[in-house]
Amino acid sequence: MHILRLPAAMRDAIYAHGQEEFPRECMGMIGGIDGELVDLYRMVNTSEIDKAYADDPIENIEVGEQMDERGQTPLVIYHSHPGAEAYFSDTDEHVAREGIWGPIVYIVASVKPGEAPYMKAFVIREDDAPVEEVAIEIV
Amino acid sequence: MSTTTDVLVLIPAPLRRYTGGEAKVTASGGTVAELIANLDTAYPGIRDRIVESDGQIRRFVNVFVNGNNVRKLDGAETAIKDGDEVGIVPAMAGGCR
C-alpha cells in the first residue's frame, strides 16, 4: 500500500499502548481485509531488555488464528520507541529483512513524556528493496 | 530414512503466497528438515523462507511441533511422526537501538 489509511481510533490505541508500556516498547498487529485496517491486536513484549521488542510465539499463533477466523490478513506490525524518535532503526530493518513478513507495513510510534506522540510507517516491498516511508492518512 | 504421512502443517499468512493461499497443508517427513524439504517440492521457494542454506531454522522463524518450539527440542532434526501438527510462525522483533 502506498498510503496507510489508519483509523483514528487505532492511532490513539497505539499511542495509549505506548504510553502504558513506557519506558518499555509496546507491540502489536493490525489485521485487515482487502487492504482496509479492521482490528488492532495488542501483544505482549517479551524482550528481556528495554529499547527492544520481541513477541511471545504462542500469542503470535493465537493472533494469527483470530485473524484467520475473521478473514483478515496481517497488514501492520506496530511498536513504540519510548523516549526516542519514530524511525526505522537498524535493528528494525535487520529483523524485517531477516524475517519473513514480506511487504507488511511497520508503524513506529515515538512516545516521550510531556510531548505529543507521533508515528511514521515503513515498508520493504521486496527482498532487496530499500526501506520506504509510507504516508499515513488518518481516517 | 523414516517417512510419515498426514502431518498437518500450519502455514502463516506471509507464506501462503507459496501455497496458493492455503493456511493448512499436509506433508511428510521423518524430521522437520525432511518435512520442509518435501514442502518445498510441493511449494517451490517456501524452504528458503523457513531455513538457512545450512538447513538451520532461520533466526526470526519459529517452528512448533505439537505446540513445542523445536529450538527447545532438536531444531531442524526434531523427529516428527504420523499425526503430528507442525506450525511455522514468523517472529516479530525490533527496537529503537
pLDDT at A65: 96
- Structure confidence by residue, pLDDT tens digits, B44-78: 999 999 999 999 999 999 999 999 999 999 999 99
B19 touches chain A (CB under 8 A): no
A41 CB-side CA count, 13 A: 23
Cis peptide leading into A7, omega within 30 of 0?
Answer: no
What is the model's pTM? 0.95
**Does the beta-carbon distance from B90 to A101 stay under 8 Å?**
yes
Q: Is the pLDDT of residue B97 over 90?
A: no
B8 touches chain A (CB under 8 A): no
pLDDT at res. B80: 94
Phi, psi for residue A16 in degrees, rounded to 5:
-60, -40
* CB atoms closer than 10 angstroms to residue A7: 15
- The percentage of chain B sitting over the pLDDT mark of 70, rounded to a whole number, equals 95
Helices assigned H by DSSP within chain B:
32-42, 46-50
Mutate to test the interface with B, among A61, A70, A85, A100 (most CBs of B within 10 A): A100
Give A-chain residues touching B97 at CB under 8 angstroms: 51-52, 89-91
CA angle A24/A135/A68 to nearest 5° reads: 65
Distance of CA B47 to CAs A125, B56, B57, Å?
A: 20, 11, 10
Taking Cα atoms as reference points, which of A18, A13, A105 lies closest to residue A53?
Answer: A18
Q: For chains A and B, what is the number of CB pairs under 8 angstroms?
A: 99
**Ranges of chain A with pLDDT below 70:** 1
For residue A99, give the nearest of B94, B74, B76, B47 by alpha carbon: B94
Residue carrying C-alpha cell 529499547: A51
In angstroms, rounded to a whole number, what is the distance separating the alpha carbons of residues A43 and A28?
5
Element (H, E) at A18: helix A8-21
- The pLDDT score that the predictor gives to residue A109 is 98
Q: How far is A91 from chain B (nearest CA, A)?
A: 5
Contact between A51 and A92 under an 8 Å Cβ cutoff? The reply is no
Q: Say if CB A101 and CB A55 are below 8 A apart.
A: no
Q: What is the structure's pLDDT at A2?
A: 79
CA contacts within 13 A on the Cβ side of A53: 31
For position B2, what pLDDT does the model report? Answer: 54
Cβ <8 Å between A92 and B95: yes
Scan for cell 524511525, then name that residue. Answer: A87
Contact state of B58 with A100 under an 8 Å Cβ cutoff:
yes
Under 8 Å between Cβ of A78 and A30: yes
Q: What is the pLDDT of residue A1?
A: 62
Residue A133 near residue A121 (C-beta atoms within 8 A): yes
Band of residue B4 on the pLDDT scale cut at 50, 70, 90: low
Give residue A96's pLDDT. 96
Q: What is the pLDDT of residue B1?
A: 52
Chain A residues contacting B, CB < 8 Å?
25, 27, 29, 43, 47, 51-55, 57-58, 60-61, 64, 67-68, 73-74, 77, 79, 81-82, 84, 87, 89-92, 95-96, 98-102, 104, 106
